[in-house]
């Protein structure tokens, strides 16, 4: 695994260097020219296009930082105004972009990325290149080079003969072995170098936090109202209707008990069956509000029980050494329940896997199925039905700062990951 990670980090570092220098230099130069042309009016049309390209480049770098090194860099951008046609709309868009502090921080990052960032990203690849070039020189390639240019330096080793060439080969192999161990760290340093400029400032972070809390508060209120309506509807259409029917049956039995005991006996049996069904429906309703196993045994046992009830076989691996707060457990349980139910109904899966554990102050639950995949999330407006159930789960988790991520290539497998910040007690 270390060998694979070291080689992969070297290849990624080389890509980041070449791609970063090329794209960052091009965008930095064109953006500066466009900003100068803004005074002439031409930049009003070119600057928004170039700044959008800069943001796309920065967002790609943020995604790579998370995927390749686990460095999370949130996007700090202010919301852009609704698109309007004409000169006025173009001026408004350009002004909004230029007033956003994140725009200028992105431009500073371009300069860092094409200079110091490129050097740091090149280090992992350099260590691996030395591991190849050293032995190549020792095989005899050093002779024409030394004959033409005199002493050939390999890192800190001067090559003047076969002995020093062999020493260079040993040094190169040593660099390569070192790279297998340190390359992932060097790649992480590259992304850490970008983080101060690409992440939100403290003020912007607080503003984004307020926006997020406002949005999740509305979602929590809407979810609570929808849940109350569901409970009310289930009571009205289920247990309440059965209890009313049972009351009418008891009135009939009271009238028939002396004149037609046999019929009264049959009605009593039916009323008893209705009472049993009403009790079952009430238990199901209570379980839908807060399952008893969740209240009594905690989230770990509740998830195992949930996996056993699924129509598709679910292999559960749950390691939770304690209990979270009750609202967090409830949100996680119902989110997993909906994910498993949706997968069993719609994915065509023959097997599912459930993994739940608590690490670094976060509850992480992954549900994997071997179904057909192809889930689009977040769903575009033109395909609102695709993944719309996941949008409801995301809103439920948002009230607890939870995150829902979906990986679902066409043909499968599909992996849905739920992350909730919480502490176990």
Number of compact structural domains in the chain: 3
C-alpha to C-alpha distance for 166 and 338, rounded to whole angstroms: 63
Q: What is the CATH number of the domain that holds 359?
A: 3.30.565.10
**Residue 248 DSSP code:** H
Residue 168: band (very low, low, confident or very high) from pLDDT cuts 50, 70, 90 = confident
Residue 10 backbone phi and psi in degrees, to 5: -65, -45
CB-CB neighbours of 32 under 10 Å: 13
Same domain as 252, residue 138: no
Please report the pLDDT score of residue 234 as a whole number.
60
Give me the mean pLDDT over the 70-94 stretch. 79
C-alpha to C-alpha distance for 410 and 413, rounded to whole angstroms: 8
The answer to whether 346 touches 383, Cβ cutoff 8 Å, is no
CB-neighbour burial class of residue 344 (10 A; exposed 0-12, middle 13-18, buried 19+): middle
Same domain as 92, residue 234: no
The answer to whether 373 touches 412, Cβ cutoff 8 Å, is yes
C-alpha to C-alpha distance for 200 and 60, rounded to whole angstroms: 16
Q: Is the pLDDT of residue 212 over 70?
A: no
Same domain as 154, residue 224: no
Please report the pLDDT score of residue 423 as a whole number.
85
Same domain as 126, residue 271: no
Q: What is the pLDDT of the chain when averaged over all its residues?
A: 80
Helices (H), 199-318: 202-234, 240-256, 261-289, 292-297, 299-309
Helices (H), 38-100: 43-69, 86-99
Q: How far is CA 271 from its chain centroid?
A: 52
Residue 386: band (very low, low, confident or very high) from pLDDT cuts 50, 70, 90 = very low
C-alpha to C-alpha distance for 201 and 205, rounded to whole angstroms: 6
Same domain as 230, residue 189: no
- DSSP SS3 for 116: helix
Pairing outcome for strands 414-421 and 362-369? antiparallel
Give me the mean pLDDT over the 248-262 stretch. 75
C-alpha to C-alpha distance for 65 and 88, rounded to whole angstroms: 37
Residue 381: band (very low, low, confident or very high) from pLDDT cuts 50, 70, 90 = very low
Q: How far is CA 204 from its chain centroid?
A: 22
Q: Which range of residues forms the domain containing residue 321? A: 297-421
Q: Is the pLDDT of residue 217 over 50?
A: yes
Please report the pLDDT score of residue 232 as a whole number.
67
- DSSP SS3 for 41: coil
In the block, tokens 């809390």 appear at: 213
Name which of 110, 121, 149 is nearest 22 in CA terms: 110
- DSSP SS3 for 368: strand
Same domain as 150, residue 92: yes
Same domain as 166, residue 271: no
Same domain as 255, residue 140: no
State the Cα angle at 125 between 121 and 131, rounded to 5°.
155
- The whole model's pTM is what? 0.56
Residue 366 backbone phi and psi in degrees, to 5: -115, 135
Residue 380: band (very low, low, confident or very high) from pLDDT cuts 50, 70, 90 = very low
Q: Which of 258, 289, 320 is the last residue of a domain?
A: 289
Q: Is the pLDDT of residue 74 over 80?
A: yes
C-alpha to C-alpha distance for 295 and 287, rounded to whole angstroms: 10
Q: Is the pLDDT of residue 10 over 70?
A: yes
Q: Which of 273, 289, 305 is the last residue of a domain?
A: 289
Residue 376 tokens read as 């689009």
Q: Is the pLDDT of residue 127 over 70?
A: yes
Q: Which of 200, 219, 235 is the last residue of a domain?
A: 200
C-alpha to C-alpha distance for 63 and 71, rounded to whole angstroms: 9
Q: Work out the percent of the chain whose per-residue pLDDT is above 90.
A: 11
Q: Is the pLDDT of residue 221 over 80?
A: no
Q: Which are the contacts of 111, defined by CB distance < 8 A and separation ≥ 6?
A: 24, 28
Same domain as 167, residue 129: yes
Residue 343 tokens read as 């997968």
Same domain as 373, residue 270: no
Please report the pLDDT score of residue 99 as a whole number.
87
Higher pLDDT, 328 or 293: 328
Higher pLDDT, 400 or 333: 333
Side-chain-facing half-sphere of 263: CA atoms under 13 Å: 11
Same domain as 281, residue 159: no
Same domain as 94, residue 10: yes
């Amino acid at each position: 695994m270390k060998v694979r990670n070291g080689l992969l980090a070297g290849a990624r570092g080389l890509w980041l260097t070449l791609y970063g220098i090329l794209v960052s230099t091009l965008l930095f130069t064109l953006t500066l020219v466009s900003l100068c042309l803004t005074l002439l009016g031409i930049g009003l049309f070119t600057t928004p296009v170039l700044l959008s390209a800069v943001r796309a480049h920065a967002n790609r770098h943020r995604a790579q930082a998370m995927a390749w090194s686990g460095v999370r860099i949130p996007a700090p951008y202010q919301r852009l105004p609704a698109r309007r046609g004409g000169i006025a709309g173009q001026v408004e868009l350009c002004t909004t972009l230029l007033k956003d502090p994140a725009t200028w921080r992105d431009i500073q990052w371009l300069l860092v990325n094409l200079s110091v960032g490129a050097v740091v990203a090149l280090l992992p690849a350099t260590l691996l290149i030395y591991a190849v070039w050293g032995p190549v020189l020792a095989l005899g390639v050093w002779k024409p080079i030394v004959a033409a240019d005199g002493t050939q330096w390999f890192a800190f080793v001067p090559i003047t003969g076969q002995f020093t060439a062999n020493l260079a080969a040993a040094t190169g192999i040593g660099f390569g072995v070192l790279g297998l161990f340190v390359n992932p760290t060097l790649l992480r340093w590259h992304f850490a170098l970008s983080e101060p400029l690409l992440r939100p400032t403290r003020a912007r972070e607080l503003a984004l936090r307020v926006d997020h809390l406002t949005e999740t508060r509305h979602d929590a209120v809407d979810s609570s109202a929808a849940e109350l309506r569901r409970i009310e509807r289930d009571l009205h259409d289920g247990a309440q209707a059965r209890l009313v029917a049972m009351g009418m049956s008891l009135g009939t039995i009271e009238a028939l008990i002396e004149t037609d005991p046999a019929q009264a006996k049959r009605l009593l049996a039916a009323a008893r069956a209705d009472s049993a069904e009403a009790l079952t429906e009430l238990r199901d309703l209570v379980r839908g509000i807060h399952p008893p196993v969740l209240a009594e045994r905690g989230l770990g046992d509740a998830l195992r029980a949930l996996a056993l009830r699924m129509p598709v076989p679910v292999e559960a691996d749950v390691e939770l050494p304690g209990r979270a707060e009750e609202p967090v457990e409830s949100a996680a349980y119902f989110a997993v329940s909906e994910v498993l139910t949706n997968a069993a109904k719609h994915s065509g899966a023959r097997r599912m896997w459930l993994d739940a554990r608590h690490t670094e102050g976060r509850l992480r639950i992954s549900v994997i199925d071997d179904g057909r995949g192809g889930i689009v999330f977040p769903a575009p407006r033109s395909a609102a039905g695709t993944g719309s159930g996941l949008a409801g789960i995301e809103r439920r988790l948002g009230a607890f700062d939870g995150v829902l991520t979906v990986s679902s290539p066409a043909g499968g497998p599909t992996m849905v990951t739920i992350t909730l910040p919480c502490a176990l007690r």
